[in-house]
Amino acid sequence: MGEHEAQAYKDNGTPEEQSRRQFLVNATLAVGGVIGLVLTVPLVGSLIPESMISPEKSAGGVWADLPKPDLSSLASKPGEPVKISFNFKYADGYLPATEKTEFVWGVKLTPEQDKTFRAKRPDLFGSPAEEVKYDAVVASFVMFSSICPHLGCRYQWNGDQKRFICPCHGSQFGPQGDHLAGPAPRGLDPLPFRDKAGAAQVTWIQYKSGQADRLIVAYS
């Protein structure tokens, strides 16, 4: 390569050409910055603890109101489970929140049941891997998830036999959720329950089925 050709490669061009090249560089950096910001904001948002986003969260889930007529019926029937349906907002990833309906089995414990609950439910007060991280009984009320801890079927209350019975594989539980018979590896799962300004509320939690330890799979 001759000296003239080598010198041509070092030529920075006219002031107009230099200005045009600088503009393109700046534009490219600006577009890249916008794309980076668009990608970063959702990622940062996903790292913020839910408790910092909404004070109405319960250990990762949301509080949902229970219908007052069902609560009145429950309070008037100590020791007899009552099926209570409720609605809550369910968010899946970045999809818009949708309304979902679930149900729980509520029990207003009798004084005797309230007194013996801990003895009947050692699975709730054992090792850290087994115990729940909230009060299972609040003011003598307990709300049981309607999901059988065996394989996830929906059990029902049998008033004649005074026990919960799962129709899928025959697991049976007492009024306090204690495991009586069948393949279920643990008793019924209680849910967080509270009274908030006169409204009874629960948090829907889905626990992993088929094992003795309570492992949370999902919150509402």
Are 100 and 149 within one domain? yes
Task: Kindly state the tokens that stand for 203.
Answer: 């948090």
- Do 146 and 162 share a structural domain? yes
pLDDT of residue 132: 79
Domain extent at residue 38: 3-47
CA-to-CA distance for 76 and 121, rounded, in angstroms? 24
Residues 183 and 150: beta-carbon distance below 8 Å: yes
Shared domain check, 179 and 99: yes
Question: Closest by alpha carbon to 136, among 217, 214, 55?
Answer: 214
Same domain, 153 and 76: yes
Report pLDDT digits (tens) over 96-139: 667 889 999 999 999 999 999 999 998 888 766 556 788 999 99
Could you give the number of structural domains in the chain? Answer: 2
Query: Same domain, yes or no, for 59 and 147?
Result: yes
**Which CATH number goes with the domain that contains 144?**
2.102.10.10
Q: Are 108 and 210 within one domain? A: yes
Output the pLDDT for position 34.
Answer: 40
pLDDT below 70 — which residues of the chain?
1-60, 90-97, 127-131
Identify the pLDDT of residue 31.
47
Residues 115 and 215 in one domain: yes
Q: To the nearest whole number, what is the mean pLDDT of the chain?
A: 78
Does an H or E element contain 117, and which?
helix 111-120
* Same-domain pairing of 9 and 83: no
pLDDT in tens, 196-210: 988 999 999 999 999
Tell whether 81 and 110 lie within a shared domain: yes
